[in-house]
């Protein structure tokens, strides 16, 4: 049995159920992309390939002069079902190609073989991902090589396993935070990139800590909005520049600390320049960011900025060492649980995924407009958070925060459901617990 990639010319509208229609192929494992009206790229498995095709070997030379060999199959047209308009143009075998070597030249590594593999739409395996991330961290790749890797991965489209492998490699290369606690740590870091609100995930983290949940809030400065979590926390008076030991001690002593990502992820610092010069959004500062908490938080409420990321991130989370996670996308464009309309949810508990949707009315909450919960710059957002915690703002912004916090309370076992988390969340504000926790966070962040 071999696994391979193949480009079919199939009649429009007749590509579903292809595995049953192509008699000479044992299984169409996965449809990868439709590149035109009739072009279908698929991953297939073939058993009796000797009667199906002639084996051919091609030598290729890329622009850098690197010579490589690939094995192809020249198919015999008559073996295919009448729904296929002619034989596949080419079949590259095998899909799980041997690991590509990264050769050291004058202190730098060349990743030409890996880039060639990406341009041919092959997925990278775990060892290849580890090699690239380790080389970036060691300073063995130039900015041009890093940019090539980012673009190659983006153009191919990262697979679930590739994203999981990158996140795991990033965790391994981060500055670790070792927290002495028997309870599961939680995080509320999302992808960012959604409509601009008032840093609700940061306020959510403070409220979670006021409920007795140990919080390792991971985040950075603004990339896609006017105020990132680091920006609003500084406006609230929090010192974000903490060592790993100080972060761990704060979590152990007061139940919360902020983890400023650039201080803990040397790979991110090396990727930032090339990505910034490219001027395009890659996966490192959106999809990867929420997955690489240096304290190893295993519970998470995670907002994502695109609806298709709900499924993708759920599958990635299920591949990794998480405990209980809710991934949310407000279908109106919010990277949070929405108070405007419908929210799409993926809930992952011990690698099992459950999908569902809900609207504010399901929790007895009134819908609002985007302007009702809109945010602004760091000072504006800090003022909104302080007003909610002080009890002077009781409108849609408070309800928006309460709904998102209720999900975090549920994920961490403080409430049996999101619905029952609503009342607990309100009580954290009304009792002054959230405000006291914010004041404690500010004070302790300036201690030695």
Q: What percent of the chain has pLDDT over 90?
A: 68
Q: What is the structure's pLDDT at 264? A: 97
Q: What is the structure's pLDDT at 24? A: 46
Distance (Å, whole) CA 205 – CA 265: 21
Q: What is the pLDDT of residues 272-314, one digit of tens each?
A: 999 999 988 889 988 999 999 999 999 999 999 999 999 999 9
Q: What is the pLDDT of residues 183-195, one digit of tens each?
A: 899 999 999 887 8
Q: What is the pLDDT of residues 393-448, one digit of tens each?
A: 999 999 999 999 999 999 999 999 999 999 999 999 999 999 999 999 999 999 97
Q: What is the pLDDT of residues 152-165, one digit of tens each?
A: 999 999 999 999 99
Structural domain boundaries in the chain = 2-93, 103-157, 186-445
Task: List phi, psi (to 5°) of 7.
Answer: -110, 115
pLDDT band at 267 (very low <50, low <70, confident <90, very high): very high
Q: For residues 112 and 323, which has the higher predicted lDDT (pLDDT)?
A: 323
Place of tokens 């290849």: 128
Contact status, residue 387 vs residue 435, Cβ threshold 8 Å = no
pLDDT exceeds 70 at position 54 = no
Q: What is the structure's pLDDT at 35? A: 44
The H or E element spanning position 210 is: helix 200-210
Q: Cis peptide before 94, with omega less than 30 degrees from 0?
A: yes
Cβ burial, residue 139 (10 Å; 0-12/13-18/19+)? exposed
pLDDT band at 352 (very low <50, low <70, confident <90, very high): very high
The whole-model pTM stands at: 0.78
Q: What is the structure's pLDDT at 57? A: 53
Q: What is the structure's pLDDT at 272? A: 92
Distance (Å, whole) CA 318 – CA 404: 22
Distance (Å, whole) CA 172 – CA 284: 15
pLDDT exceeds 50 at position 63 = no
Q: What is the structure's pLDDT at 23? A: 44
Note the CATH number of domain 186-445.
3.40.1030.10
Q: For residue 85, how many C-alpha atoms fall within 13 Å in the half-sphere facing its CB?
A: 11
């Amino acid at each position: 049995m071999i696994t391979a990639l193949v480009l079919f010319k199939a009649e429009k509208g007749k590509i579903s159920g292809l595995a049953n229609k192509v008699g000479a192929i044992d299984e169409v494992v996965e449809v990868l992309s439709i590149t035109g009206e009739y072009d279908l790229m698929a991953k297939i498995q073939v058993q009796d390939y000797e009667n199906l095709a002639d084996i051919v070997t091609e030598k290729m030379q890329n622009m850098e002069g690197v010579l490589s060999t690939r094995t192809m199959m020249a198919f015999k047209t008559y073996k295919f079902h009448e729904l296929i308009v002619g034989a596949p143009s080419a079949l590259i075998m095998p899909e799980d190609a041997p690991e590509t070597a990264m050769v050291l030249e004058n202190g730098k590594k060349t990743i030409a073989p890996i880039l060639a593999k990406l341009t041919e739409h092959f997925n990278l395996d775990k060892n290849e991902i580890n090699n690239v991330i380790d080389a970036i961290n060691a300073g063995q790749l130039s900015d041009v090589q890093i940019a090539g890797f980012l673009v190659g991965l983006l153009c191919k489209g990262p697979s679930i396993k590739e994203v999981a492998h990158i996140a795991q490699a990033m965790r391994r290369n981060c500055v670790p935070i070792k927290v002495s606690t028997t309870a599961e740590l939680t995080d509320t870091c999302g992808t960012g990139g959604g409509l601009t609100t008032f840093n609700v995930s940061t306020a959510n983290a403070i409220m979670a800590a006021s409920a007795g949940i140990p919080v390792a809030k991971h985040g950075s400065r603004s990339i896609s909005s006017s105020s990132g979590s680091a920006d609003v926390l500084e406006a609230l008076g929090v010192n974000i520049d903490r060592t790993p030991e100080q972060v761990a001690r704060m979590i152990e002593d007061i139940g919360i600390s902020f983890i400023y990502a650039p201080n803990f992820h040397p790979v991110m610092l090396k990727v930032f320049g090339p990505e910034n010069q490219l001027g395009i959004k890659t996966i490192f500062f959106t999809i990867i960011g929420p997955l690489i908490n240096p304290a190893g938080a295993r519970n998470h409420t995670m907002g994502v900025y695109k609806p298709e990321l709900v499924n993708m991130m759920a599958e990635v989370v299920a591949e990794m060492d998480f405990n209980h996670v809710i991934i949310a996308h407000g279908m109106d464009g919010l990277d949070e649980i929405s108070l405007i309309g419908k929210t799409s949810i993926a809930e992952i508990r011990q690698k099992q995924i459950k999908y569902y949707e809900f609207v504010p009315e399901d929790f007895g909450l009134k819908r609002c407009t985007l302007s009702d919960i809109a945010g602004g710059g760091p000072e504006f957002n800090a003022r909104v958070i302080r007003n909610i915690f002080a009890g002077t703002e009781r409108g849609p912004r408070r309800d928006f925060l309460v709904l998102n916090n209720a999900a975090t309370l549920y994920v961490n076992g403080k409430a049996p459901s999101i619905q029952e988390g609503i009342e607990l969340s309100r009580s954290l504000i009304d009792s002054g617990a959230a405000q006291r926790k914010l004041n404690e966070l500010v004070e302790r962040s300036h201690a030695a």
